[in-house]
Amino acid sequence: MRRRETLTERQDRRLLEVRLACPYITRGCDLARAFAKLVRNRRGYLLLEWIRQAEQDAPKPMQGFASFLRQDLDAVTAGLTLPWSSGVLEGHVNRVKTLKRSVIS
């Protein structure tokens, strides 16, 4: 799922072969790339349209992911739109939990 421009020539050729062989993978790949672009560029206003597309004709796991996003649409949209993030805090919580597990073990 790396950006297309970072793929080697061989990787890009192989990706094309797989996409041509399986339209199901092609659709999943296209939606995954669109979602990654949406996240990278903080375009939360496009999320609902992405969810609609994914629920309509994506592979089953991606449909489930889209439905999961829809359950808390306002929060996910805010996370993809607003400049604030709890990422640093979540990282600290994860580190503390990891340390706690290693001491208990």
Q: State residue 83's pLDDT score.
A: 85
pLDDT tens per residue across span 55-78: 999 999 999 999 999 999 999 999
- In the chain, what are the domain boundaries? 4-104
CB atoms within 10 A of CB 68: 11
pTM above threshold 0.75: no
The answer to whether the CB of 1 falls within 8 A of the CB of 11 is no
| pLDDT tens-digit map of 25-53 | 999 999 999 999 999 999 999 999 999 99
Mean pLDDT of 66-91: 90
Q: Cα 47 to chain center, whole Å? A: 11
CA distance 66 to 54: 6
Backbone region of residue 85 per phi and psi (left: phi > 0; alpha: psi in -120 to 50; beta: other values): beta
37, containing H or E segment: helix 23-40
Residue 96 clears pLDDT 70, i.e. is over it: yes
What Å distances lie between residue 43 and 15, 24, 65, 68, 87, CA to CA?
Answer: 26, 26, 18, 18, 18
Q: What's the pLDDT at 62?
A: 95
